[in-house]
Structures are given as structure tokens and as C-alpha cells.
Structure 1
Amino acid sequence: MTRAFGNIEKLPSGRYRVRHPDEHGRPTRVKGTFRMKAEAKRRLVEIDHAIRNGTYRDPSRGRALFGDYVADWLEVHRPTLAVSTWELYGSALRLHIEPQLGDLRLSDLTADDVRRWYSDRLGATGRTATAQAYRLLRNILNTAVVDDLIVKNPC
């Protein structure tokens, strides 16, 4: 007999709440509620499938602000960068990336945000600076994927 994965609870409001163990077995509650029990069951099956396949990502991991993550990223990479590269990265972050994207949560950053940012930068600074800043942004977000903070790089 297979053991049921997680549970669905009917709330006094008539909506349904989903709870499940995360990939480490810790109890976790899915953000939000569901209008119908079938929706809640579907979400629970999706989570179970993702955990079994190793593709589950705890949504709370990407809640860090992009600006905070970037500051840590730059400091961690400082020893591996030439001084001129480190200064170039710091300048690109300060002038081109953080003003528009720094206050967004990593998990909220979308491809549309990146496209708008890119378009704004092209109009403000030109192709070379925008291309350099974009490459840096893509690099940083690739690291966030490896760090399991976001599922996919929006670049």
C-alpha cells in the first residue's frame, strides 16, 4: 500500500489548503489556497512529481532581492577576477543593472523584465555598455540557477 503524499485541508472559507513534505521531508504549505479540491489535488500531484524527479525547488529560496544577491555574488567572485574586471562589473551593476532590477525578488524576475530593462538600457547608454551589462546579468542569473534559487534564467 502506498502512503499518501501531503494533505488537503478544507478551510472555513470553503477554499482548500495544500501541505506537503519538501524534498528533505520538512512540512511545507503551498502559498495561497485553491477554490476547488481538484485544483488542490492537481497541485499536490505536480509537487510530488517534481520532488520524485529532482526538479522541485522550494519557492521561498528565490525570495532574496536581486540587489542583495548581486552584492554577495560580486564579493564571492572578487578573488577570481582581475581588478579591472571587478571594477567593470561593479560599475555595470551600479549604473545599469541594480537601478531597475535591484528591488525585484529573484523568483519574480521574468524574461519580460529583462527585455524591458535591455530596451531601456539601449536607449540610455548604447549597444556596448548594454551588451556588457546583459552578459553580466546573464552570468549572475546562471549562478542563481546553479545555486537552486531560481528554476530558469530569465535571460
Structure 2
Amino acid sequence: MADNKRRRFGAVRQLPSGQWQARFTGPDGQMHAAPQTYSTKALAERYLSTAEGDIASGRWISPLAAKMPISEWANQWFTASQSRWKIKTQETYRSVIDRLIVPHLGKVKLGAIRPLAVTRWVGTLAETVSASQVRQAYRLLSQIMASAVDNGMIPVTPCRGGRVAGLPRLPQAKPTVLAPADVARLSAKCELPDRVLVLLLAYAGLRIGEALPLRRRSFDLSSRRLIVAEAVSQVRGGSVIGTPKNHQQRELVLPTFVADAVAELLGNLPEGEDAFLFGGRQKHTSDRQQSYYGFRSRFRVAAEAAGLDGLKPHDLRATHASWVSDSHGIIVAAARLGHADASVTTRHYARPLGGKDEEVAAHLDKVARKASGTRMARKIKKNVP
């Protein structure tokens, strides 16, 4: 009975050389031969038993699939996946594949690449590009290879984690966190549109790409509410307005003085709910949002005039995160910034405000004195006859 089952699954035959060959029909409908021949019939049949077990458990991988070059699979993966990405992400991934993955690993077969080869590749990249680009390339290769596993092309991924691959560490960026007086001084150096933009970055924590496409319909000034529903990205050929990062729309309440500044600016805009709060500054461009590059140039001049040389617009988002986390906790700060994971807020934005360490030390002094006083009172009470 077992022999009949074996013959239905596959077959072994003796070659003119005297060696034995095992062959079977795989789930793909193709005839597959063992990668080697065997000195005995029993060894060939043992291979068939192993192959049959792998097929039954879903572990079998087609040798033909594993021979596909990484470049071909990366292109198939990109084509199948790109519809769920924003245009900016599509451009970034395409660039990383074409510049950093295919030139080094494109000709390697899916089934032939090993973790050591990935480590060598990471080391090679680290000699020519920044740490952030190396890490981005590794993350993308990990996605590509994980998809190959999911689709039965290879049994396991060669990307076994950043530590195994020896990824370079990212330098810790330290954003500049301003005091409210600094923001006031900075905004005073700006004309009304830029002043409102600075206030929204600092007091609402917006990304610059979320602030630039704001429209009249984005505000309900009767309740001082701002709805962040759009974001602009710079891509080849211009800018594209889409949804915010991670497609997360959020609603924020503005401080009264910021809402008043917005109302003043809205009073100078054309009618219509689609009118941009920060429309193009050139003639005939008010029907689209202004350029980030133009604002960045004016921002630099205003920052220098305010004695804040080197300040970047993104520092105002970190400033907002630090203020809110200090006054209302990191969870509230994360919600205002649009972070689903509060660890992103602490890792990249929120920083302890100056002078807080002194406050902590003073508080601990107070706690210790109180505890010491309590112990002394108990000792006196115990010794009283």
C-alpha cells in the first residue's frame, strides 16, 4: 500500500551511472527532480518522503521560485504594492530599490542570499551613504524578502534584524525647544501670513506639510477648532496634496490668540471654503498653497533677526510637543501631534524643559524632610513617658 502511495506521489529511477534519481510533481504542477542523485534507492525514496512531508505541511518551496533574481522579485513586489502608498512613498521606495538594492544584490537568486551577504551589503552601503539611508534600504529589503516568504518563494528571510545585520546607529538629533517668549519674538519678525504659520506650528504642533494646505474650511473659529485633513508632499514635477501621515485626520483646539490671528488672516483671503490660508505669494498663484522653500527662506531671515540662528520650522513642532508633554503628559502630546505611538513623540520630539531638574531636586528635598520629620515625631512620641 505504501509503495503504491509513493508511486502516486513521485518515483525513483536508476540512471545509467548507477546513481538513483528522485522525481515528483509539485503543487505547482511541474515535475521536480531532487537537487542531487543518490547512491542507493533507499536514500532517493527518503528524499521523496521528506518532500512529501514538506508539501503536506506547507513548507515546500519550489526550486524554480528560489532561482528568481532579487531584482525581478523586487520589481514584482513594488508593482503589486504601490497602490497602497502615497506618491511620495512610491518615489522614495523606487529610488531606494534602484540605487541601493538592485546594483548590489539584484543578480543574486532569492534562494541563494544568506544573512552574511546582507551584513556585507549593509557594510558596503555604510561606506558611501548616510546611516539613515542604510537603515531605510535595510527596512525595504526586509519587506521585500518577507513578501517572498509569504508567497512561497523562499522558506525564510535572510533579514534577521538590525543588530544581526550590523546597521549603523543614527546620530541623535536634538531639536531646539523654544520658550513662549522666543516664539513671540520670532513671530513678531514675520509678516501676517508667516506669523500665523509660525503660531500654528508652535501652538498646534502641525507638520509644515499639514499647515501649508490649510483652507478656510479647515477652521471652525466659533469653537477655535482646526481640522487637519490634508498634507502636501514635494514630488518630482511639483507638489501633491493628499491625506496626513498615516492617513490620520485629527482635530485640534487652538489657543484664543492663535484663533484670532487666523481670523485676521482669513479676512484678507478670497471668498470660498477652498481658499488656501497660505496661498501662493506670486501673482496668479493664490489658487494653490505656497511653496515650502519660499517660507523656509523667509523663516531663516526672521529667525536670525530674532536671535535664533539655525532654528528650523520643524523645531516648532518639537517645541509644541515639549510644552504639552510637560503640562499635560506625553499621551496628550502624542494625540495633538498625530502620533499613534507615543514612543515616537518621546524619541523624536518632546524634550525636558529647562529648569525642571532643579524643580525635581527641590521636590525630593521636600519629600525627604517630610519623611525625616515624621520619623523624628514618632521617635519622640515613643520616648514620652
My pick for the range that moved more, 25-34 or 129-138, is 25-34
User: What is the DSSP-based 3-state SS (H/G/I as helix, E as strand, rest coil) of the residue aligned with 2:137?
Assistant: helix
| Cα distance in 2 between the residues matched to 1:44 and 1:75 | 36
| Cα distance in 2 between the residues matched to 1:65 and 1:24 | 19
| Paired residues for 1:14-53 under 5 Å | 14-23=18-27, 27-53=31-57
Task: Determine the structure 2 residue equivalent to 1:94.
Answer: 98
One of 76, 79, 97 as aligned partner of 2:80:
76
**Pair 87,24 (structure 1): closer, same or farther in 2 beyond 3 Å:** closer
**Pair 134,124 (structure 1): closer, same or farther in 2 beyond 3 Å:** same
| Cα distance in 2 between the residues matched to 1:62 and 1:29 | 15
| Cα distance in 1 between the residues matched to 2:48 and 2:134 | 42
**Pair 115,36 (structure 1): closer, same or farther in 2 beyond 3 Å:** farther
Provide the TM-score with structure 1 as the length reference: 0.89
Deviation at 1:25, TM superposition (A): 6.4
Higher helix fraction (1 or 2):
1
| Cα distance in 1 between the residues matched to 2:25 and 2:36 | 16
Task: Determine the structure 1 residue equivalent to 2:136.
Answer: 132
My pick for the range that moved more, 137-146 or 34-43, is 34-43
User: What is the DSSP-based 3-state SS (H/G/I as helix, E as strand, rest coil) of the residue aligned with 2:127?
Assistant: helix
| Cα distance in 1 between the residues matched to 2:32 and 2:98 | 37
**Pair 113,131 (structure 1): closer, same or farther in 2 beyond 3 Å:** same
1:154 correspondence with 2:158 = yes
| Cα distance in 2 between the residues matched to 1:53 and 1:147 | 15
Provide the TM-score with structure 2 as the length reference: 0.38
1:103 correspondence with 2:117 = no
**Pair 29,54 (structure 1): closer, same or farther in 2 beyond 3 Å:** same
| Cα distance in 1 between the residues matched to 2:120 and 2:85 | 29
**Structure 2 counterpart of 1:48, one-letter code:** E
Deviation at 1:26, TM superposition (A): 5.3
**Pair 25,121 (structure 1): closer, same or farther in 2 beyond 3 Å:** closer
Deviation at 1:104, TM superposition (A): 1.1
One of 141, 147, 151 as aligned partner of 2:145:
141
Task: Determine the structure 2 residue equivalent to 1:10.
Answer: 14
| Cα distance in 1 between the residues matched to 2:48 and 2:125 | 41
Consecutive unaligned residues in structure 1, runs of 5 or more: none
More relative contact order, 1 or 2 (CA 8 Å, 6+ apart): 1
| Cα distance in 2 between the residues matched to 1:8 and 1:131 | 48
1:60 correspondence with 2:64 = yes
1:114 correspondence with 2:118 = yes
User: What is the DSSP-based 3-state SS (H/G/I as helix, E as strand, rest coil) of the residue aligned with 2:77?
Assistant: helix
My pick for the range that moved more, 135-144 or 1-10, is 1-10
Deviation at 1:36, TM superposition (A): 3.8
Report the number of matched residues. Answer: 155
1:85 correspondence with 2:121 = no
Deviation at 1:24, TM superposition (A): 6.0
**Pair 29,117 (structure 1): closer, same or farther in 2 beyond 3 Å:** same
CA RMSD of aligned residues (A): 1.8
